[in-house]
Structure 1
Amino acid sequence: MLFRALLTVLLAITLSACSSLTPEPEPITDTDISWEDHLARLQTIEAWEVTGKAGIRDSKTRHSASLAWQQQAEFFNIELTGPLGQGGARITGSPRGIEILAAGEAPIYSNAPEALMEERLGWRFPLNDLPFWMKGQPAPGSEYTPVFDTNRLKSLQQNNWQINYLRYTSRDGIPLPGKIVLNQGNLRITLIAKEWQIGAR
């Protein structure tokens, strides 16, 4: 069903691994910076934009889409386009409420985004945590278990999710994730960022 496929991709904000999406990274030159200093720098980044592709895979389904994600503090605007330009969709809002516009579907409004995902998809995605994980930092307010590589996260366990950082790129001299894989049970989420933009345009 088109709605389920688009909603799955839209709410998961994920990316199927594809070698053609490998970005041309800037050299990462601050390998001597401490994790504490790197984390402090990430915490100052509230406005950013990522473009790439999105996808999700579980034991029964697999979906993908091109992705343009703009974040301003807790507010976001995410646009997705399916393969060959089909099935466009957009989601706007914050963890407190969302609006979903999908091609060929009536608009959907909800002030309980995670409950909507559980109702429609059968699993609850950590919408509050994802913008932090995307930048390569633990989400605040809950315990986590990190593994570091060169003073950056190599992996992270938090809120029953396993997050693996397989590659970093650099934007304005700041290392940011280039490829992320998230796992929970049979659900596997992968994100490859083709381009990062820091700050509001």
Structure 2
Amino acid sequence: MRLYLILLMFFLFMSGCAQKISNKQELLSDWQAHLDKQARWKANGKLAFISKQSPPSVNFTWQNQGDSKSPDFKLKLTTIFGTQILALTQTKSSAQLDYDGVTYLDVDAQNLLNRLTNLSFPVNDAANWLKGRPQSLNIKYDEFDRIMLASIKDNQGENWQVTYNQYVKKNGVWLPTKLNLVNNNLKIKIKMQIHSWQFN
């Protein structure tokens, strides 16, 4: 009985320590401005396309080097078995799509994606909306000043609604881990789950 009480007190103590450690992560006072300045980062996760023309679920990696004014990124989609579906790269002066064993070139990544694949995905402003900072005049916030709902428009003129369902606190800022994109005109819904964030 005494051993049981000792063990119980030990586990309660350890759980209390774990709770303190998990709550030790504090927000920067200007976390939104700090996050807006972050241009070099990487996100990994899953995409689920709810449409007839698109694959149901894929893994994605987004490697970002720029912002919406000067986009510089690489998007890679793979199957659950690791087989590459496509790799889309945008630099300041050109875009490249590696898809179905063929390399395509253009000046705009969104044009390549829409023209040559069955996937519709607002990539050009993803440097902002993917990290929870969309450029929009139609935004709803929660009690922590995190964006919960926003309307964005891609460079093809398509309207998208972004819903942020879950955030995680990392490096002093809030980062989304679950979000949905909906395009009612194209009848597309995309569910995203972000497993990891890395900032350089």
TM-score for both structures, normalised by structure 2: 0.71
Matches within 5 A, 1:86-97: 86-94=83-91, 97=94
54-63 or 146-155: bigger deviation: 54-63
Q: Report the RMSD for the aligned CA atoms in angstroms.
A: 2.6
Aligned in 2, Cα 1:96/1:166: closer, same or farther, shift over 3 Å? farther
Query: 1:146 and 1:43 mapped to 2: Cα distance?
Result: 16
Counterpart in the other structure of 2:167? 168
SS of the aligned residue for 1:128 comes to coil
Which structure 1 residue ranges, 5 or more long, are not aligned? 1-25
Distance in 1 separating the partners of 2:118 and 2:75: 22
1:19 maps to none
Read off the aligned partner of 1:163 and give its amino acid letter. V
The answer to whether the 8 Å contact 1:38/1:152 transfers is no
Contact 1:90 1:100 in 2 (8 A): yes
1:132 is matched with which residue? 128
Contact preservation (8 Å) 2:89, 2:109: no
- 2: distance between equivalents of 1:170 and 1:156? 20
**What is residue 48 of structure 1 aligned with on the other side?**
41
**AA aligned opposite 1:71:** N
Q: Secondary structure at the match of 1:136?
A: coil
Tell me, in whole angstroms, the C-alpha distance in 2 between the residues paired with 1:61 and 1:81.
Answer: 13
Flag the 1:122–1:66 CA change in 2: closer, same or farther, 3 A. Answer: closer
Between 1 and 2, higher relative CO (CA 8 Å, sep ≥ 6) is seen in 1
Aligned to 2:147: 153
SS at match of 2:138: strand
Query: Which residue identity lines up with residue 96 of structure 2 in the other structure?
Result: E
How many Å separate the matches in 2 of 1:67 and 1:124?
Answer: 14
C-alpha deviations, 1:102-159, integer Å up to 9, x for none?
Answer: 3x512111223333333335786433222100111122xxx52111111110111232
State the distance in 2 between where 1:92 and 1:128 align. Answer: 11
Residue type of the alignment partner of 1:55: A
Q: Does 1:110 align with 2:106?
A: yes
SS of equivalent to 1:107 = strand
Report the secondary structure of 2:133's partner residue.
Answer: coil
Alignment partner of 1:144: what SS? coil
Q: Distance in 2 between matches of 1:165 and 1:66?
A: 19
Among the aligned pairs, what percent are the same residue? 23
Inter-partner Cα distance in structure 1 for 2:174 and 2:117:
33
Q: Against the structure 1 CA distance between its residues 110 and 48, is the aligned structure 2 distance closer, same or farther, given a 3 Å change threshold?
A: same
Q: Which has the larger radius of gyration?
A: 2
Q: Match for residue 12 of structure 1?
A: none
Match of 1:196 in 2: 197
Q: Give distance in 1, aligned partners of 2:48 and 2:37.
A: 28
How many pairs are equivalent?
Answer: 166
For normalisation by structure 1, the TM-score amounts to 0.71
Report what 1:70 is aligned to: 63
Q: Which runs of 5+ in 2 are unaligned?
A: 1-21, 154-158
